[in-house]
Amino acid sequence: MTGFTHEASVATTTLSEITKVREALSADRIFACFAYATQSGFRAFELGVGEQFWKTTKSRWLFGIDYGRTDPRALREIAKCANSEVRIFDGRYVVEAEGFLPRRDFHAKVMLVENVASGAQGLVLGSGNFSYNGLLRSVEAGWATVATTKKEIDRDILPVSSSFEALWKAACPLGEIIDPYETRLAELIGSRDTKRVVKSKGQMSAFWIEAGHVTKNRGTDRPGNQIFAPSGFRRFFGLNKAKSGSTLIGTITFETSVGPMVTKNYRENDNAMEKLTLPFPEQHGFGVYDGKVMIFQPSANGFLTSAIEFDEFEAVYGHRLTNVKTMSGGRRFGELI
């Protein structure tokens, strides 16, 4: 049994402990239970375990959708992976509740792993949720153990696994609620946007766009750094349409709180959208861009750039949003005053 905290100096994280326990057992089955899931969490996990994980490991995932904190796009990503099954805690009730208010909060952060042939089992539990911050970045703590004998399993694993197996049996298959959940969540967010200022007399201080799914333009083993923006988004950066015969709209210099300034190309794309190439996320303190909200604030040298989770964005900047628009795929963008 080992306690751990997220410690950058020795690269100890919730994800590193999950990997350590899986490798110690050569595990081929996992059962993951988390209060909520984000696209950044899915991408961080996928990068951490490697692309072969889904082919060699049978996985079950139990999530909550309490308060609408879980990103439905993350649930869909996990569900479409090979050998995976996703269920939602009390999903039939919560999806119909106003504001997705649960009758009992699902607040677990548990990963159970097993080697089916040997019977050995492992457990990692802690404070970190299934998000990039929870798995890798935030100040978190937890506990990990490996059990290879019946005595160890009965003592260290069974008290946890038996409870969550019961919750799994009672949980709702994702397919039953994902469509209404996605629709109702979009309606809830949209209702907030319609109450916000449509046209502000104040000066725009920054602008933003939801990154959504980020292409794997750097390969499957590194986080992507290109997102698509709607046609005309270039105007926020003070750029004009690309010249005839060229896709290059211009260049953008990004400032970040970590790492040096970086200048990247901004191009037209063949899908009638614009392609925004960002700094490498792992070199600038962002880890991954998937599912995050990108914020750009004009500065003397370029654009001060940040990337934060949706909930954090709403909590910090929600009162400053104006001129919010939604793209055909559901991603939003707008201004900050």
pLDDT at 200: 53
Query: What pLDDT score was predicted for residue 272?
Result: 83
- For the whole model, what pTM was predicted? 0.92
CA-nearest of 28, 147, 36 to 100 is 36
Assigned token pair, 35: 């209060």
Contact yes or no for 268/191 (Cβ under 8 A): no
Give the span between the Cα atoms of 275 and 292, in whole angstroms: 17
Tokens encoding 177: 């609620």
Intervals of the chain under pLDDT 70: 1, 197-202
Report the pLDDT value the prediction gives residue 197, as an integer from 0 to 100. Answer: 63
Determine the residue type at 114.
Answer: E
Euclidean distance between CA atoms 295 and 286, whole angstroms: 12
Q: What is the pLDDT of residue 54?
A: 95
> What does the H/E/C string look like for 142-181?
EEEEEECCHHHHHHHHHHHHHHHHHHHHHCEEHHHHHHHH
What's the pLDDT tens digit per position in 73-99?
999 999 999 999 999 999 999 999 999
Task: Supply 246's token pair.
Answer: 């060229």
Alpha helices in the chain (DSSP H): 14-25, 39-49, 53-56, 72-79, 91-94, 132, 150-152, 158-170, 174-194, 310-317
